Every structure is written in C-alpha cells, then in structure tokens.
Amino acid sequence: DSGVTQTPKHLITATGQRVTLRCSPRSGDLSVYWYQQSLDQGLQFLIQYYNGEERAKGNILERFSAQQFPDLHSELNLSSLELGDSALYFCASSEGGSGTEAFFGQGTRLTVV
C-alpha cells in the first residue's frame, strides 16, 4: 500500500460526458502528479500541483483540468469525453523535492463507450 488513494477504481461513461477523478496523497506530501496511461502508450505526465498551486503542465488536453484543494487532495476533471480518453489515470504524491520519492496510487480505469 503506497498510501496514495484514488477513487473510483473503475469508471464507465458515455462519450460527451464529464467525470471527476479524485486523489488523496500520502500524509504530509505537498506535491501531486497526474498521469495517463493508454493501451498503446506509456505513462504520460499530465500536470503537477504543489501545495495548491499548479507547478508544471505536460500533455494535458484543454478538455482536462485539475486542482489541488487546501487539504491537499486533488481532482482531475475530464470533460467532453471521447473514446480515445479511455485509459488508466494515475496519481502520485511526494513531499516535493526531487530527492524525495514519489508514490503512485493504484489508478482509475476509465472506459468511455
């Protein structure tokens, strides 16, 4: 158990819909990272938050957005869903520095039908 909790574990929704994925970081961790893993692609970095502020952006679509709340949990919002958004979405957390380990949750499997 990494200490990072993601909910829900599985999500099935229709094209055009909007969903919210939730991540609770390990206690004390200030940084949260979101990743997408599609069937035919590797782990793609989406976005990082540090203590409530956006820190870095990767290959995140404009239809996707995220935020980190004062209690440090984070949400990833995916809207106008397309079939190609079907993927595993992972959240990771770390204390913040590059010398500190990042631990991953078990992911949310999103299926868009």
Q: How far is the CB of 16 from other proteins (least distance, A)?
A: 26
Interface pick for other proteins out of 3, 12, 28, 43 (rule CB under 8 A): 43
* CA distance linking residue 40 with residue 108, whole number of Å: 17
Q: How far is the CB of 52 from other proteins (least distance, A)?
A: 15
Interface pick for other proteins out of 25, 33, 64, 81 (rule CB under 8 A): 33
Q: Is 76 in the site for other proteins (CB under 8 A)?
A: no
The amino acid at residue 73 is: H
Q: Which residues contact 104 (CB under 8 A, 6 or more apart)?
A: 2, 4, 35, 90, 91, 92
Q: Is 67 in the site for other proteins (CB under 8 A)?
A: no
Sign of the CA dihedral with 98 first, then 26, 48, and 113 last: positive
**Residue spans of beta strands (DSSP E) within 25-73:** 31-37, 43-50, 53-57, 64-68
Measured from the CB atom, is 2 or 17 closer to other proteins? 2
Q: Which residues bind other proteins (CB under 8 A)?
A: 2, 4, 31, 33, 35, 37, 42-45, 48, 50, 55-56, 58, 88, 90, 92, 96-99, 101-107
